[in-house]
Amino acid sequence: MADLGSSTLRSSIAGAVAFELPPLPYGIDALVPVLSAETLAIHHGKHHARYVETLNRLLAERNEAVSTLESVIRAAHASGTQGLFNNAAQAWNHGFFWESMTPAPAQPGNGLTTAIKASFGGLEALGTRFVAEGTGHFASGWVWLVARGNRLEVISTHDAGCPVLDDGVTPLLCCDVWEHAYYIDYRQDRAQWLTLWWTKLANWSFAEKQYDAALGRGEPWQYPAPSPVPVK
């Protein structure tokens, strides 16, 4: 058995397991006109699916039994196993990204609104900050609204960078700024993609649950647990 340098990859699950591509929480055309069905089908069914497929192949090659994707991400990063980290983190990031969008957005609730005002001065200012961070991020990556306790921050991560690595951070929302996330619909206009995403798709109900988790009221979102691979 290959040693990835961390006991956190070991688990009580006996035998091989595989992570699955989680279904979208809405229909393939539910985010039109901001996000086309074509983009969503390719992004979810091709890009995200390939990360999951490669992740499972790499784990199978190592004969590792794992309990959570979060533990895989941390252990792979700690051991410098870059290929495994990239695919595990990208699988996680995409799963969180789907949850960060909704076809029926609503305004943040009172608790999160108070935190937004305290950290940014208001929702409009936060939106401006979020779009600027994502637009200004060079090359591929992600832009996040995160909580450190009751304080909120906007950050970006590069390539497969993932907030799972920071124990002090709870992500609330994220938007994908890799070109495949928006190029079919917006070509090179990342700013327009981010602006429309923020105003039309951001899932504040999901962000509220994540903020509650940051304050110790519930558990944060986790990637779906792996399933045992049937013995052939």
Binding residues for Mn(2+): 43, 94, 176, 180
CB of 215 closer than 8 Å to CB of 150: yes
Cα gap 24→98, rounded to integer Å? 7
Interatomic CA distance for residues 187 and 215, integer angstroms: 39
8-state DSSP, 158: E
Backbone angles phi, psi at 54, to 5 degrees: -70, -40
Closest to 214 in 3D by CA, of 175, 184, 169: 169
Q: How far is CA 16 from the centre of its chain?
A: 25
* Pairing of β 141-148 and β 170-176: antiparallel
Task: Give every CB contact of residue 28 below 8 A, 6+ residues apart in sequence.
Answer: 37, 40, 41
Binding-site residue set: 43, 94, 176, 180
